[in-house]
Structure 1
Amino acid sequence: MFVKTIALWCFLVTVKGKVRRFPDTLSFGVATASYQIEGGWNASDKGEHIFDHLAHTTNKMVDNGDVACDSYNQHERDVEMLKELGVDFYRFSISWSRILPEGFSHNLSQDGIAYYNSLINDLIDANITPSITLYHWDLPQNLQDMGGWRNPLMVDYFADFAEVAFKTFGDRVKTWITFNEPWVVCVLAPIWFSVSPAKSLNGIDEYICGHNLIKAHAKAYRIYDRIYRSAQRGRVGWTLSSSWHEPITQSAADIKAAERTLQFNLGWFAHPVFSREGDYPQVMKDVIAQKSLQQGYPRSRLPEFTTEEIAQIRGTCDFFGLNHYTTNLVRMQTNASKEPSYFDDQFTEILQDPTWLSSASPWLKVVPWGFRNLLNWIRKNYNNPETMVFENGFSDSGNTYDIDRISYHNQYLNVLLDAVEDGCKVSAYAVWSLMDNLEWLEGYNDRFGLYYVDFNDPRRPRTPKASALYFKSILETRIIERDLKNSRLF
């Protein structure tokens, strides 16, 4: 294995043939999330969060993050790996309950703050830009017990947490992401992990959660804008996840269905912030209002923003953060369900082409052209915002000679360049992930890392995969082959 990897590295640094060059305006990085790598779940005075609680009180998760990659004790090694790769930036998240053990801002953990200060300082010493996500799904359990994101008080509690982070770390951190993938927080997390403390109200809870998340993001942004921006000179945004949704046929019904799905997924959170008019997408407001009345509700199940709230929310991002992995096919489906449902509200059926190359994750198919389509959809719908791709990656079962991952990134980076040539203002690209980590419900089975982690060894050693060397070569040369099909890699 070692000989084969070295042979690959020698090939990569002497590659010849048709290549493309990345613009100097594009920065490269890698991404992780606190619960997926840190461990130290009860170190010092850290409080319990929803996934700690879930892992210790249910059988929903096949593995837990009690130790994970042990980054709480090995962040120096993480920084070494980042230096080995030569990345421009490192996107990581802060665990809310590590710095605010009870979830509230009256009690700060000095040990938790010291941990993140050490990581941030080491990154800066290594000339790597820290990019911090404030919320990557690990809500303090105390706040979940109060109703979690269904509780409108969460808007203030999150704003308090954000202000602690801005005040504590903002002198060195210049890129802030308030929320990672709010669609997942409000739609998939309750399905996957049953994190709600009470019975979920389908077709209602999702929209209440989204309403509160959007207002929480906007409030945190306005706090930064009002108090910290002039001195710290940083930027604030959030990261939205979306697959590309392609109509299964070119019929008018399927084309409308695919567009409706994009609006219910990406537009739900992007439209209030990035559109000229603000508020939710019109198709969401119309469809949900109509179905709600048919189901006997006195008003729409989608909450309404006030005029003042629309104005406060609009424009509250300094960049468009995007996580993208794959593509779906969509067709129109007539649904006359009398029960409220977020998915039924869309009148669509989601499919994937069985001929598409699969990863270790059944939902993740290799469909690079969808990435270009999505970037252009954002460009056309939201006046071509600066777009920062904060996650893009491929899962396998742990092969360190990971040719399929190399092929995936080669294809997706090429279509990213196509999108840039189309006029899309893409300024950042981050691989998910720096190293193998806890992939939520799938535990340590689905591996996304550029570095292999031996989870059977208590020392959690990290070993570079072939993809790490490939990514390193791209960062060093800033060039990429147009096509690897005829490469000696295969």
Structure 2
Amino acid sequence: MTRDHIAFPAGFVFGTATAAYQIEGAVNEGGRGESIWDRFSHTPGKVFEGHTGDVACDHYHRYEEDIKLMHELGIPAYRLSISWPRIFPERGKFNQAGIDFYRRVLETLHKYEIEPAVTLYHWDLPQYLQDEGGWANRATVDYFVEYATKVFRELGDLVPKFITHNEPWCASFLSYGLGHHAPGHHDWREAYAAAHHILLSHGKAVEAYRAGGYQGEIGITLNFTWVDAASHRAEDETMSRYADGFFNRWFVEPITQGRYPADMIPFVESQIGKLSYICPGDLDAIAAKVDFLGVNYYTRNVVAADPSAPLGVRMLEPPADRVTAMGWEIHPQSLYRLLNWLQTAYTGDLTLLITENGAAFQDHLVAGEVHDEERIEYIADHLEAAKRFIDEGGPLKGYYLWSFMDNFEWAFGYSKRFGLVYVDYETQDRIVKDSGKWYSEQISYHRSSQTR
């Protein structure tokens, strides 16, 4: 049974989102250089069945068609990312063709009255910088600021919202520590240094944006995983606190309060040694004032103390009937709890935007249609959790559903589908799923409710 639609306050923004490497393809066109995901995905054994982003959704050639489809669905806002290697394919070498491509994309969005939110970094670091240490190398901070400043100057007139980074946790811990994402390293000292340098580059990019006098807004997107202890045993509660520090507080606390969590520092130093990569003034720079905080939420973790597990923390398996195709627990009430915790502990009246929320399911194309009722339920349940927070006075101002269309899902290749729009990767046909139709109706309902 199709879910009822939900009334949101006037001014609330509904949107959808994608990322450059996941949809663009055309990796050797338009002067683009190599990224760490090009190298990683072409390394045997790193990505499901050897899938790559070489073609992806061919959005580089089909962006007008895709944006027109967004317009037909009534989607008023779109979060996209810029490929750093399209702008600086070599160190110090600016590529005008790359900027021109994004200007065409942005102008097309404006033509269809879709408001863009642009992410500067969604994990596609130029390979030449990784060859010199990547984010573990402090010099990458300056290269990022150079890149960000150039994008501000060239495209700032078309971008009302900039996001410096998407999910620093993934770009550092998942990439340099756990090794699941590019560059695929297993070095926790590198991982924590990378996290610090990503946060520092964020703060310095915000400073550059302010110095440029631009009229838009700027913020950062963090991914959050709500953590519950498996029991009330002291050891489980302690490890849940560490897990929360690892997933969440290590990133949100320096951005909002200019410090790393005091309870986590001894734990981290016991693993990697002194945090010698932190220099005087760094934390003040990281805490540069933002206009909003982007919140990516998908699931929660339930954890127990287990000395035999990595870092002494074991993640419990979620109920089999309450998981997505990623194996992630469906737990919308934890979105509500997360938003409340953020506002109370860190952000106060700062605007919050849900910059990603969505789910992968086993979608099947049958007679030209995709009936994804599970995804509709997931979206509606999470919108209800968000609305509850707003009704209680929470400063949540927007929701960007992940994702607009099926795409290259990083190490999972094309095996997981998150989209509102089904993509046939052989033909590049786009088919709007039932969830896309429902979301379109939700947006229409929201618009019409403002006039009643």
1:189 lines up with 2:159 in the alignment: no
- Partner residue, 1:235: 217
- Partner residue, 2:229: 247
Using the TM superposition, give the Cα deviation of residue 172 of structure 1 relative to its aligned residue in structure 2, in angstroms.
Answer: 1.3
Give CA-to-partner distance per residue, 1:260-303, whole Å, 9 cap, x none: 3222221111111112xx210111113223x25xxxx8xx4434
Alignment partner of 1:170: what SS? helix
Using the TM superposition, give the Cα deviation of residue 176 of structure 1 relative to its aligned residue in structure 2, in angstroms.
Answer: 0.7
Q: RMSD of the TM alignment (CA)? A: 2.1
Alignment partner of 1:259: what SS? helix
Within the candidate set 221, 238, 242, 1:260 is matched to 242
- Partner residue, 1:87: 75
Alignment partner of 2:407: what SS? coil
* Residues 279 and 305, structure 1, Cα contact 8 Å, conserved in 2: no
Alignment of 1:395-474 (within 5 A): 395-399=360-364, 400-457=370-427, 460-474=428-442
Alignment partner of 1:21: what SS? coil
* Residues 218 and 290, structure 2, Cα contact 8 Å, conserved in 1: yes
Q: Which moved more, 1:387-396 or 1:258-267?
A: 258-267
Within the candidate set 254, 260, 263, 1:280 is matched to 260
Alignment of 1:301-380 (within 5 A): 301-303=274-276, 305-334=278-307, 344=311, 347-362=312-327, 364-380=328-344
Within the candidate set 124, 134, 156, 1:148 is matched to 134
State how far apart, in whole Å, the 1-side matches of 2:153 and 2:28 are. Answer: 25
Return closer, same or farther for 1:25/1:259 CA change in 2, 3 Å cut-off.
Answer: farther
Return closer, same or farther for 1:383/1:144 CA change in 2, 3 Å cut-off.
Answer: closer
Alignment of 1:204-223 (within 5 A): 204-223=189-208
* Residues 409 and 416, structure 2, Cα contact 8 Å, conserved in 1: yes
Gaps of 5+ in 2: 365-369
Within the candidate set 364, 385, 388, 2:353 is matched to 388
Letter in 2 for 1:283: D
Alignment partner of 1:217: what SS? helix
Return closer, same or farther for 1:26/1:254 CA change in 2, 3 Å cut-off.
Answer: farther
* Residues 436 and 451, structure 1, Cα contact 8 Å, conserved in 2: yes
Alignment partner of 1:139: what SS? coil
Alignment partner of 1:178: what SS? strand
Using the TM superposition, give the Cα deviation of residue 461 of structure 1 relative to its aligned residue in structure 2, in angstroms.
Answer: 1.1
Using the TM superposition, give the Cα deviation of residue 90 of structure 1 relative to its aligned residue in structure 2, in angstroms.
Answer: 0.5
Give CA-to-partner distance per residue, 1:126-157, whole Å, 9 cap, x none: 11111111111111111111111111100100
* Residues 207 and 301, structure 1, Cα contact 8 Å, conserved in 2: no
Give CA-to-partner distance per residue, 1:51-84, whole Å, 9 cap, x none: 1122334342221111110000000011112102
Using the TM superposition, give the Cα deviation of residue 174 of structure 1 relative to its aligned residue in structure 2, in angstroms.
Answer: 1.6
State how far apart, in whole Å, the 1-side matches of 2:402 and 2:166 are. Answer: 13
Using the TM superposition, give the Cα deviation of residue 255 of structure 1 relative to its aligned residue in structure 2, in angstroms.
Answer: 3.1
Using the TM superposition, give the Cα deviation of residue 311 of structure 1 relative to its aligned residue in structure 2, in angstroms.
Answer: 2.1
Using the TM superposition, give the Cα deviation of residue 194 of structure 1 relative to its aligned residue in structure 2, in angstroms.
Answer: 6.3
Give CA-to-partner distance per residue, 1:84-129, whole Å, 9 cap, x none: 2212210010000112111x3x322222111100000011111111
* Residues 47 and 98, structure 1, Cα contact 8 Å, conserved in 2: yes
- Partner residue, 1:484: none
State how far apart, in whole Å, the 1-side matches of 2:321 and 2:290 are. Answer: 35
Return closer, same or farther for 1:259/1:25 CA change in 2, 3 Å cut-off.
Answer: farther
Within the candidate set 110, 114, 117, 2:103 is matched to 117
State how far apart, in whole Å, the 1-side matches of 2:82 and 2:338 are. Answer: 29
- Partner residue, 1:135: 121
Give CA-to-partner distance per residue, 1:309-362, whole Å, 9 cap, x none: 222222442211111101110223447x9xxxxx51xx4322233245121112
State how far apart, in whole Å, the 2-side matches of 1:31 and 1:75 are. Answer: 14
Identity of paired residues, percent?
34
Return closer, same or farther for 1:21/1:196 CA change in 2, 3 Å cut-off.
Answer: closer
State how far apart, in whole Å, the 1-side matches of 2:252 and 2:166 are. Answer: 13
1:167 lines up with 2:149 in the alignment: no
- Partner residue, 1:28: 14
Aligned residues: 439
Return closer, same or farther for 1:310/1:177 CA change in 2, 3 Å cut-off.
Answer: same
* Residues 193 and 277, structure 2, Cα contact 8 Å, conserved in 1: no
TM-score by length of 1: 0.85
State how far apart, in whole Å, the 1-side matches of 2:280 and 2:182 are. Answer: 32
TM-score by length of 2: 0.92
Letter in 2 for 1:391: E
Q: Which moved more, 1:304-313 or 1:407-416?
A: 304-313
Using the TM superposition, give the Cα deviation of residue 241 of structure 1 relative to its aligned residue in structure 2, in angstroms.
Answer: 0.5
* Residues 356 and 366, structure 1, Cα contact 8 Å, conserved in 2: no
State how far apart, in whole Å, the 2-side matches of 1:321 and 1:243 are. Answer: 14
Alignment partner of 1:243: what SS? strand
Alignment partner of 1:367: what SS? coil
Letter in 2 for 1:379: Q
Gaps of 5+ in 1: 1-7, 338-342, 481-490
1:225 lines up with 2:205 in the alignment: no
Give CA-to-partner distance per residue, 1:362-401, whole Å, 9 cap, x none: 2x22111111111111111114231111110110222311
Alignment partner of 1:283: what SS? coil
* Residues 393 and 432, structure 1, Cα contact 8 Å, conserved in 2: yes
Alignment of 1:96-111 (within 5 A): 96-102=84-90, 104=91, 106-111=92-97
Within the candidate set 73, 77, 92, 2:65 is matched to 77
Alignment partner of 1:326: what SS? strand
* Residues 237 and 318, structure 1, Cα contact 8 Å, conserved in 2: yes
Within the candidate set 452, 455, 477, 2:445 is matched to 477
